[in-house]
Amino acid sequence: MPNKVCIFDVDNTLTHGVDASKSKCCQPGEDCLLNDSKYQPNWPSTGSGTSQYVLDTIQNCKNNGYDIAIATAESGLESMNPTQKNFIKSVTGTILQGTPMFQNSCTAQGIDSTKCVQGNLGQHHCCDNEYSQKEQMYKNIMKHMNIP
Protein backbone atom coordinates (compact mmCIF):
# COMPACT_ATOMS: atom_id res chain seq x y z
CA MET A 1 0.00 0.00 0.00
CA PRO A 2 1.52 3.36 -0.97
CA ASN A 3 1.99 6.12 1.57
CA LYS A 4 -0.83 8.66 1.58
CA VAL A 5 -1.20 12.03 3.28
CA CYS A 6 -3.84 14.71 3.81
CA ILE A 7 -2.12 18.11 4.07
CA PHE A 8 -3.98 20.94 5.80
CA ASP A 9 -3.43 24.66 6.26
CA VAL A 10 -4.11 26.03 9.75
CA ASP A 11 -5.83 29.41 9.71
CA ASN A 12 -9.31 29.39 8.14
CA THR A 13 -8.92 25.71 7.27
CA LEU A 14 -8.59 23.91 10.60
CA THR A 15 -9.89 27.03 12.36
CA HIS A 16 -12.74 29.49 12.20
CA GLY A 17 -12.44 33.05 13.41
CA VAL A 18 -14.46 35.01 15.93
CA ASP A 19 -16.74 36.33 13.16
CA ALA A 20 -17.88 32.86 12.10
CA SER A 21 -21.58 32.18 12.45
CA LYS A 22 -23.91 29.23 11.98
CA SER A 23 -25.62 31.01 9.08
CA LYS A 24 -22.31 31.57 7.25
CA CYS A 25 -20.60 28.26 7.97
CA CYS A 26 -23.15 25.52 8.62
CA GLN A 27 -25.98 23.84 6.78
CA PRO A 28 -29.44 25.31 7.65
CA GLY A 29 -30.52 24.25 11.13
CA GLU A 30 -27.11 22.76 11.92
CA ASP A 31 -24.66 23.79 14.66
CA CYS A 32 -21.31 22.79 13.12
CA LEU A 33 -19.15 25.39 14.88
CA LEU A 34 -17.12 24.30 17.87
CA ASN A 35 -16.06 27.50 19.58
CA ASP A 36 -14.08 28.09 22.75
CA SER A 37 -17.12 27.49 24.96
CA LYS A 38 -17.38 23.94 23.59
CA TYR A 39 -13.93 23.09 22.34
CA GLN A 40 -10.58 23.92 23.90
CA PRO A 41 -8.13 25.36 23.23
CA ASN A 42 -9.32 28.13 20.94
CA TRP A 43 -7.14 29.38 18.11
CA PRO A 44 -6.29 31.96 16.85
CA SER A 45 -8.18 34.04 19.43
CA THR A 46 -10.91 33.87 22.06
CA GLY A 47 -14.16 33.03 20.33
CA SER A 48 -12.38 31.06 17.61
CA GLY A 49 -12.37 27.33 17.25
CA THR A 50 -12.94 24.67 14.65
CA SER A 51 -15.93 22.97 13.10
CA GLN A 52 -17.42 19.51 13.05
CA TYR A 53 -16.63 19.45 9.31
CA VAL A 54 -12.90 19.75 10.08
CA LEU A 55 -13.01 16.96 12.67
CA ASP A 56 -15.01 14.73 10.29
CA THR A 57 -12.59 15.39 7.39
CA ILE A 58 -9.54 14.56 9.51
CA GLN A 59 -11.21 11.39 10.77
CA ASN A 60 -12.14 10.43 7.20
CA CYS A 61 -8.48 10.80 6.19
CA LYS A 62 -7.40 8.58 9.07
CA ASN A 63 -10.14 6.01 8.38
CA ASN A 64 -8.86 5.71 4.81
CA GLY A 65 -5.22 5.19 5.81
CA TYR A 66 -3.93 8.72 5.25
CA ASP A 67 -1.37 10.38 7.50
CA ILE A 68 -2.02 13.98 8.57
CA ALA A 69 0.35 16.86 7.84
CA ILE A 70 0.30 20.65 8.08
CA ALA A 71 1.65 23.24 5.61
CA THR A 72 1.31 26.79 6.91
CA ALA A 73 2.71 30.06 5.62
CA GLU A 74 3.10 31.22 9.22
CA SER A 75 6.45 32.35 10.53
CA GLY A 76 8.54 29.95 12.57
CA LEU A 77 7.67 31.70 15.83
CA GLU A 78 3.96 32.00 15.10
CA SER A 79 3.63 28.36 14.08
CA MET A 80 5.47 27.11 17.17
CA ASN A 81 3.07 28.96 19.50
CA PRO A 82 2.15 26.61 22.41
CA THR A 83 -1.57 27.45 22.14
CA GLN A 84 -1.57 26.61 18.45
CA LYS A 85 0.43 23.45 19.15
CA ASN A 86 -2.25 22.32 21.63
CA PHE A 87 -5.04 23.28 19.23
CA ILE A 88 -3.53 21.26 16.37
CA LYS A 89 -3.02 18.30 18.70
CA SER A 90 -6.66 18.55 19.78
CA VAL A 91 -7.97 18.41 16.18
CA THR A 92 -5.45 15.94 14.70
CA GLY A 93 -4.77 13.76 17.74
CA THR A 94 -1.01 14.17 17.49
CA ILE A 95 1.75 16.72 18.01
CA LEU A 96 3.00 17.70 14.57
CA GLN A 97 5.15 20.79 15.30
CA GLY A 98 8.84 19.93 15.26
CA THR A 99 8.32 16.96 12.91
CA PRO A 100 8.69 16.73 9.10
CA MET A 101 4.88 16.49 8.97
CA PHE A 102 4.62 20.15 10.02
CA GLN A 103 5.97 22.67 7.54
CA ASN A 104 6.13 26.45 8.00
CA SER A 105 8.04 29.46 6.67
CA CYS A 106 11.34 28.13 8.06
CA THR A 107 11.08 24.47 7.12
CA ALA A 108 10.09 25.52 3.57
CA GLN A 109 13.52 27.14 3.36
CA GLY A 110 15.39 24.26 5.01
CA ILE A 111 15.75 25.92 8.42
CA ASP A 112 14.89 24.28 11.74
CA SER A 113 12.02 26.38 13.14
CA THR A 114 12.58 25.02 16.65
CA LYS A 115 15.60 27.36 16.72
CA CYS A 116 13.24 30.36 16.48
CA VAL A 117 12.92 31.33 20.13
CA GLN A 118 11.63 34.50 21.80
CA GLY A 119 14.41 36.97 22.35
CA ASN A 120 16.28 35.65 19.34
CA LEU A 121 14.16 37.18 16.58
CA GLY A 122 16.06 37.82 13.41
CA GLN A 123 18.26 34.76 13.89
CA HIS A 124 16.65 33.71 10.63
CA HIS A 125 14.41 35.80 8.40
CA CYS A 126 11.77 33.04 8.53
CA CYS A 127 11.42 33.22 12.33
CA ASP A 128 9.27 36.33 12.18
CA ASN A 129 8.16 36.48 8.53
CA GLU A 130 5.57 34.47 6.66
CA TYR A 131 6.41 32.57 3.48
CA SER A 132 3.42 31.93 1.28
CA GLN A 133 4.89 29.55 -1.28
CA LYS A 134 3.83 26.12 -0.11
CA GLU A 135 5.15 23.97 -2.95
CA GLN A 136 8.40 23.23 -1.09
CA MET A 137 6.42 22.41 2.05
CA TYR A 138 4.42 19.80 0.13
CA LYS A 139 7.62 18.41 -1.39
CA ASN A 140 9.27 18.17 2.06
CA ILE A 141 6.29 16.22 3.43
CA MET A 142 6.14 13.90 0.42
CA LYS A 143 9.90 13.31 0.49
CA HIS A 144 9.68 12.41 4.19
CA MET A 145 6.90 9.93 3.38
CA ASN A 146 8.69 8.49 0.32
CA ILE A 147 5.90 9.67 -2.00
CA PRO A 148 7.27 10.31 -5.49
pLDDT of residue 59: 97
Is the per-residue pLDDT at 40 higher than 80?
Answer: no
Is the per-residue pLDDT at 8 higher than 90?
Answer: yes
Residue 32 domain flag: no
Distances (CA, A) of 50 to 16, 55, 79, 129, 146: 5, 8, 17, 25, 31
d(Cα 82, Cα 50) in Å, to the nearest integer?
Answer: 17
**Torsion 73-99-34-41 (CA) sign:** negative
Report which of residues 36 and 70 the model is more confident about: 70
Residue 78 domain flag: yes
Farthest-apart Cα atoms in the chain, separation = 50
Mean pLDDT value of segment 25-47: 76
Mean pLDDT value of segment 126-139: 89
Structural domain containing residue 80? 5-10+53-144
Residue 29 domain flag: no
Q: Which stretch of DSSP H or E encloses residue 33?
A: strand 33-35
Residue 135 domain flag: yes
Residue 16 domain flag: no
Residue 36 domain flag: no
The 10s digit of each residue's pLDDT in 64-117 is 999 999 999 999 888 888 888 888 998 999 999 989 999 999 988 888 887 787
Least confident range of 13-27, 28-42, 130-144: 28-42
Mean pLDDT value of segment 45-58: 88
* Mean pLDDT taken over the chain: 86
The 10s digit of each residue's pLDDT in 56-72 is 999 999 999 999 999 99
Residue 35 domain flag: no
Structural domain total, the chain: 1
Point out which residues pair with 138 in neighbouring strands. Answer: none
Residue 123 domain flag: yes
